[in-house]
Structure 1
Amino acid sequence: MTEKLLRPMRTRRWPERWLIRLLGAALAAAAYLLFMPWDLRNRPATPTTTQETTPVTGIGVLLLALVLLLLAAYFGHWDDLGWPLLLVAAPPAALMHISFRTHPEPDLPGLWPLAWGFFTLLIAAGVLVAAGVARAFRGEWAKEDDLTLMNPL
């Protein structure tokens, strides 16, 4: 099973390729849901503060970043460079957008789109960097396969 997961995507049959890609997107979404829990009952910590309580912790953010970077490295190494962005960065960005939109009473209605855009850009940049670094560590087989795919003669 492990040797199947450690092969280039283009050498696999298309059902297997798409199953692995769907699994990667599901893992990215599950990591976001696990480490960034939603609490629609946000409330002020004390009656005199404007700060709301939140279930998000620093450890949760770090663990989410670690999972997303590992997934990006896997797909960046074994698949084409555009796939990690779609499979790893898009599910958390979509879930974050839904989370911001379902907040019952926005404190600053004009601020959440900026926060969403900033965090989406941050996630996408991290995913692209991790995928690019992992792609740089591809073996000689990748260079030979790329040359034969470009020039089949």
Structure 2
Amino acid sequence: MTEKLLRPLRTRPWPERWLTRVLGAALSCAAYFLCLPWDLSNRPETENSTLETTPVTGLGVVFLALALLLLAAYFGHRDALAWPLLLVAVPPATLLYVSLRTHPGPPDGFANAWLLSWAFFTQLIAAEVFVAAVVARQFRPHLADEDLILAHHL
């Protein structure tokens, strides 16, 4: 069973390939929803307080990074290099963009700051996913080994 879960996706039938990819994108979205709150707006710490607090916690960010790292390593090992970026990095970046655009934000002068922070975190997520996928690809069996495995199972 483990061999089937780690075999390159290009050797699998197309329904299994696409189901695996859709599941990966759904897990990436689920990790975002579980680790980061949807409403990212800051709130006063207490009534009449000048200090603000955010619902985003450091632990949530760490868990999101770990979940995306694991998903990127899995898809980097099993699929072509572009798929981890599309399946693992794009969903959280899209959700973050929608979240930042839909909640009431700061005055118009700070609108560019939200866009810059989204761009920064998108680049950070994409870099993490890309590096994890490239490292995981190093542990793939060589093409000749894959052909031998396929010939053995046919």
Match of 1:104 in 2: 104
Match of 2:13 in 1: 13
* 2:111 match: secondary structure: coil
| Pair 1:89-2:86 in alignment | no
Say if 1:40 and 1:104, in contact at 8 Å, map to a contact too: no
Structure with bigger helix share is 2
Match of 1:139 in 2: 141
Deviates more, 1:101-110 or 1:17-26: 101-110
Match of 2:152 in 1: none
Give the counterpart of 2:123 among 116, 121, 124: 121
What whole-Å deviation, never above 9, does each CA across 1:7-32 have from its counterpart, x for those lacking one?
A: 11011010110000000000000000
Aligned alpha-carbon RMSD (Å): 1.9
| Identity level (%) | 67
Number of aligned residue pairs: give it. 144
Q: Where in structure 2 are there 5+ consecutive unaligned residues?
A: 148-154
Match of 1:75 in 2: 75
Q: Where in structure 1 are there 5+ consecutive unaligned residues?
A: 147-153
What TM-score do the two structures reach when normalised by structure 2? 0.85
What whole-Å deviation, never above 9, does each CA across 1:101-143 have from its counterpart, x for those lacking one?
A: 0121325222000000000000000000000000011123x35
